[in-house]
Structure 1
């Protein structure tokens, strides 16, 4: 593997990830950019993103011999899809075992506060976070949430799902060999988003959606992306190299309608995934009030400023249920509960309210 421009760029990205780990000086510049595709970017996500981006670029130069990159990209899309679907299935099984509703955010108060939901799962993150804590715990900074608080609640078979991540990584590396530079960079970008999304967010999170649909975009329309960039830059070498990677539906004798359908299929899938995500969010929403269930309260609880927003309180032997005004933003409420409930309960759940993000209160 000879050092070339791609490897140098990859090393720069990895170095930049290391700088972000050591200092916050670039946060005001980087965070607004990564926030758009990492769904609430954090320091941990930024470090992972630039590290993976650089690593994928470097490893794309690994093999000199010809490899069927289209086949491995197709496998990557398949493995990535299964990984995301199993991640959500794990979330459903976890809730059935715990006896809590599907349309809630679960917040563990064990160790550090960690949350998870079907719309934004952190269960797989907790497994990797626990392993990372055991290995380099003293070096993990306080502002990097590893999700270890959820680890005690994760079903025991979940580690089998984690095994799909290294398999996905290997197939992506094989899929990125000998590709023209535009789709090589895009593949590294989408792959980084996909792996981060699988760990933090899951199928309905922005990084996973960007990642899996991005891989599928390269699989179906990578040829046209390279072709457009090659013509814009008048790069004959790029155009010549691009002819070696043909779309699976090009030059197949399809009718014009069928060919156009293949071209716009990625757009249809993007719309379908977004529509499904919003449908689940609205279908599970509780717009009249938040239902907050506090499990195994250990003492008298004072919710502080939240007290003025409480509509009703219900007590039982093992939990306290609060009905809270929807004037709160969902994420703000979850975070505001963290302080009063610290060391006061085992966990708590908060019902969904997508209307709070849109300003559509009933």
Structure 2
């Protein structure tokens, strides 16, 4: 592997990731940018993003011999999709096992507070967090939430994700070999978003949608995007290399309508996933009031502090070790979750909150 511009850029990005790990001085500059495609960017996500981006760029220069990169790109799309669906199925199984509703946000209060829901899952993050904590626990900063408090509630077979993620990583690396530099940059960017989205957010999260659809975009329309980039940068070498990576439907004698459909198919799929996400969110919303179930509380009734004046009613189910609070729906959902953290810290095992997307409107 000879040192070239792609490898140098990759090394710089990894070094920058290391700087983000040891200092916060770049956060005000980086966070507003990464927030757009990482959905509520955090320090942990930023470190992962730049580290993965640099690593994918470097590893794209590893293999010298020709391999069928298109085949491995298709495999990456399939494995990435299976992994994302697995995350949602794990959420469903976890909730059925715990006896809680599907349309709730689950918040574990054991150790560090961690939330999860079908719309934004952290279960895969909990599995990886458990593994990493055992391996490099002393090096994980306290302000990076690894989600390990959720791990105790997961079924044993959830460890299968440990097989899927490395496999996905390897196929992405194989799919990026010897590609034109612009195509490599696109693939590295989208792959980094996908890995982060799988770990934090899941199928309906912004990083996962950007990642899996971005890889699909490279597969179907990457040739045309790279050709446009070559003309913009006036890079004849980029245009020449790009001719080796024709889209699967080009020069197949298809009708004009079919060619247009092939071009826009990826965008139709993106719109479909986003539509499904909002359909589930609105269908599962409880706009009349929030139902907060506090499990294994340390007291018969907990003072919710600033939220107390928003409480409509309280019901103590002693036989279920559960206290149910009905809270005014005018409360913003995210604000409610944040405000519950303090009064419920060390006061219960976990609690659930019914979701209400209308509170964001």
TM superposition shift of 1:142: 1.8
The answer as to 2:335 corresponding to 1:332 is yes
Q: Paired residue for 2:360? A: 357
Q: Paired residue for 1:180? A: 180
Pick the aligned partner of 2:344 from 332, 341, 345. 341
User: Which structure 2 residues correspond to residues 87-102 of structure 1 after superposition, within 5 A?
Assistant: 87-102=87-102
The answer as to whether partners of 1:124 and 1:162 remain within 8 angstroms in 2 is no
Instruction: Measure, in 1, the Cα distance between the counterparts of 2:238 and 2:250.
Output: 19
Q: Paired residue for 2:221? A: 221
TM superposition shift of 1:127: 1.1
Gaps of 5+ in 2: none
Instruction: Measure, in 2, the Cα distance between the counterparts of 1:233 and 1:110.
Output: 53
Instruction: Measure, in 2, the Cα distance between the counterparts of 1:352 and 1:4.
Output: 50
SS of the aligned residue for 2:156 comes to: coil
TM superposition shift of 1:229: 1.0
TM superposition shift of 1:312: 1.2
TM superposition shift of 1:326: 1.6
Instruction: Measure, in 2, the Cα distance between the counterparts of 1:234 and 1:123.
Output: 46
CA RMSD of aligned residues (A): 0.8
SS of the aligned residue for 2:326 comes to: strand
User: Which structure 2 residues correspond to residues 21-32 of structure 1 after superposition, within 5 A?
Assistant: 21-32=21-32
User: Which structure 2 residues correspond to residues 123-162 of structure 1 after superposition, within 5 A?
Assistant: 123-162=123-162
Instruction: Measure, in 1, the Cα distance between the counterparts of 2:30 and 2:235.
Output: 31
Give TM-score scaled by structure 1 length: 0.98
Q: Paired residue for 1:311? A: 312
Q: Paired residue for 2:323? A: 320
User: Which structure 2 residues correspond to residues 255-294 of structure 1 after superposition, within 5 A?
Assistant: 255-294=255-294
Instruction: Measure, in 2, the Cα distance between the counterparts of 1:326 and 1:150.
Output: 27
> Deviation string for 1:203-246 (max 9, x for gaps)?
00000000000000000001001111112222221111111000
Give TM-score scaled by structure 2 length: 0.98
TM superposition shift of 1:329: 1.2
TM superposition shift of 1:139: 2.1
Number of residue equivalences: 358
Instruction: Measure, in 2, the Cα distance between the counterparts of 1:5 and 1:357.
Output: 45
Q: Paired residue for 2:50? A: 50
SS of the aligned residue for 1:157 comes to: helix
Instruction: Measure, in 2, the Cα distance between the counterparts of 1:264 and 1:145.
Output: 38
Q: Paired residue for 1:171? A: 171
TM superposition shift of 1:161: 2.2
Runs of at least 4 residues off by over 4 Å: none
> Deviation string for 1:39-91 (max 9, x for gaps)?
10000000000000000000000011101110000000000000000110000
Instruction: Measure, in 2, the Cα distance between the counterparts of 1:101 and 1:89.
Output: 14
Instruction: Measure, in 2, the Cα distance between the counterparts of 1:28 and 1:244.
Output: 41
Gaps of 5+ in 1: none
Instruction: Measure, in 2, the Cα distance between the counterparts of 1:268 and 1:112.
Output: 39
Q: Paired residue for 1:302? A: 303
